[in-house]
Structures are given as structure tokens and as C-alpha cells.
Structure 1
Amino acid sequence: IMERLLEQRYVIKFCVKLGKTGKETHDMIKEAYGDAAMGISGVFEWHKLFREGRERVEDDDHSGRPSTSKTNKNVLRVKNLLNRDHRMSIRMIADDLSNPQTQSFDMVKENLAMRKVCAKFVPRVLSEEQKANRKAICQDLLHHVNEEPKFLDNVVTGDKTEGCYFEKF
């Protein structure tokens, strides 16, 4: 996420050097980045800073205590917790890590790119390999259905909370 922001700040800096207005700059960024584009107030703020002579695109150092709970180690712990139980709530994760709920939520959403669907955390975006695997499985199932129309009658579905077993006949 930080790389995307820095990239957009470079775009703003470039547009300032070309003499573009803040509105033109925002429109170009919105067209290029879509939903991932910076907000208009952020674009105008950085546009003004670059117009006034700022050279750095990185944030200025802030005073105060640095965040110690949003570390790679804690992100990995959150990932392991969710791998064990996808139904964990943010409150449960925060209690396990002794973290604020807001930071636990940020780790799940931003660092792990997950969101809650039907009371389970799931990956927001599938990798190319996962997409290809799903496509292959769907094509295979479609082939079986076309070959044998009663194929779907043999498919058993259920929830993981149910005790399922089968016997060969």
C-alpha cells in the first residue's frame, strides 16, 4: 500500500512540473488507479506541497512513540490464528495478541488482504495459480456433468461442523 501511495505522489510531483492543476492531476490519477487512487484532498495537499518546492515524496518523520504491535511477527501470528479458525472475530484476535482492535483489523485487511464474508475471513484476491486451479476444477466438473448427467447426484455437500463420513459400496 505504501508503495502505491509513493508512486502516486511521484505522479503528482510530475504533474506539478508539467503545470497541471490539482483537479487535472486528481482526474489523471483517478483514471490510472481507479479505486486505489488517492482521495482528492490528499492529491490537493501533495500538489500544494510540491508546487511550493517540496522535493521528497516520503512522509515527514513524526514525533511520538512508534507502533510496536503492527510488526511482521504479529502479522504472522494473526495469519496463523486465522488459518486455524477462519471464524475468529477481530476482538478475539486483538485479545489473543493484546493489541488494539483497530490495529488487529488493519493487519487482517491491509497486511493479509482479507475480508470477512459470511462470518469467515477469506482472501480478498486470488492468485493467478488459484484462479487457474479453480478454472481447471470447474472445467473438469463440467466435463463430468456433460459425460454423465447424473454425476451431480453423487456430490455430497455439507458444513465442516457436521460429522461426515462415507462407505464404499
Structure 2
Amino acid sequence: MEKIDYRAIIKFLTKQGKSVATIMDEMSSVYGDSCPGKTMVYKWHSLFKKGRESLEDDPRPGRSIVVTTPELIQNVEKLVLDDARLKKKQLAEMVGVSDTTIFKIMHDHLGMTKVSPRWVP
């Protein structure tokens, strides 16, 4: 059973006015060892009592994951072919990705290596 399914059960029982202990007892009797722990049940019970409706996790802060799309690869290739003296950092700022992503595109996707101060295929 998925964690979102457990949250739906916790939400339903919370809306019925059940306590954390009662919810734990009911879930343990049905799901046994696979049911979530008391801390998790208490957390979601509290959130649902405060009016939360969503069963999904809140988005976490941090750097978003950049997917290397064909458009991104073409954009980087065009920039490099226009000016082979661009540095990774400059390319990264121009297209809005990290230096590491630029290196992976240049090396893995375009098969380019740094020779002297130029990128060459």
C-alpha cells in the first residue's frame, strides 16, 4: 500500500473525529506491521485537523532538477559553434543551467572536448 493511501485513511478517520490512538489501533488491526508509525500518523492527523486537504508532500526547497532536453542540447551546440572560446560558466549563465550540466552536454551528448581555449568536436 502506498503512503498516500495511508494518508487518505488518516484523513478520513480524522474527519470522523477519531484520536491518534484510535486511528493507530484501527490501522494496526487491518494492516499489521505494514501500517505507518505513530509519529507519521500524529503528524498527518494534526495537519488534517488544522484544515489541510492535500494528501501530497509539500514541495521541498532546493535546486530543481534540470532535464537535458534536445532543445537545450541544440541551444548549447549553437552557442559553442558561434563562439568556441566561451567558458563553461558563461554558457551555464546564458542557458540557465549549472556548469556540470554544460560539461555533460558538451562531453556526453555533443562529443566535444576542451582543446586549448576552444571546444572542438
1:36 deviation in Å? 1.1
Distance in 2 of aligned mates of 1:39 and 1:31 = 13
Shift of 1:27: 1.1
RMSD, aligned α-carbons: 1.8
Q: Does 1:15 pair with 2:13?
A: yes
Task: Classify 1:66/1:36 alpha carbon distance in 2 versus 1 (closer, same or farther; 3 Å).
Answer: farther
Aligned partner (choices 2, 5, 16) of residue 4 of structure 1: 2
Query: What SS class does the counterpart of residue 8 from structure 1 fall into?
Result: helix
The structure with higher relative contact order (CA 8 Å, sep 6+) is 2
1:12-38 alpha-carbon deviations (Å, 9 max, x no partner): 000011110011011111112111110
In structure 2, do the counterparts of structure 1 residues 36 and 67 end up closer, same or farther at CA, with 3 Å as the change threshold? Answer: farther
Does the C-alpha gap of structure 1 residues 67 and 24 become closer, same or farther in structure 2, counting only changes over 3 Å? farther
The count of residues paired between Structure 1 and Structure 2 equals 66
Question: What one-letter code is carried by the residue in structure 2 that aligns with 1:52?
Answer: K
Moved more, 40-49 or 25-34: 25-34
Choose which of 51, 54, 75 in structure 2 pairs with 1:53: 51
State how far apart, in whole Å, the 2-side matches of 1:22 and 1:67 are: 37
Alignment-derived partner of residue 40 in structure 1: 38
When residues 30 and 67 of structure 1 are mapped into structure 2, their CA distance, relative to the original with a 3 A threshold, is farther
In structure 2, what is the Cα distance between the partners aligned to 1:40 and 1:66?
A: 31
Equivalent in the alignment of 1:29: 27
Which 5+ residue runs of structure 2 have no aligned equivalent?
A: 67-121
Q: What TM-score results when the alignment is normalised by the length of structure 2?
A: 0.50
Change (3 A) 1:52 1:65: same
Larger radius of gyration: 2
Secondary structure at 1:33's aligned position in 2? helix
Deviation of 1:66 (Å): 5.6
Change (3 A) 1:32 1:60: same
TM-score (normalizing by structure 1): 0.36
Identity, % of aligned pairs?
38
The 5 Å alignment of 1:87-166 reads none
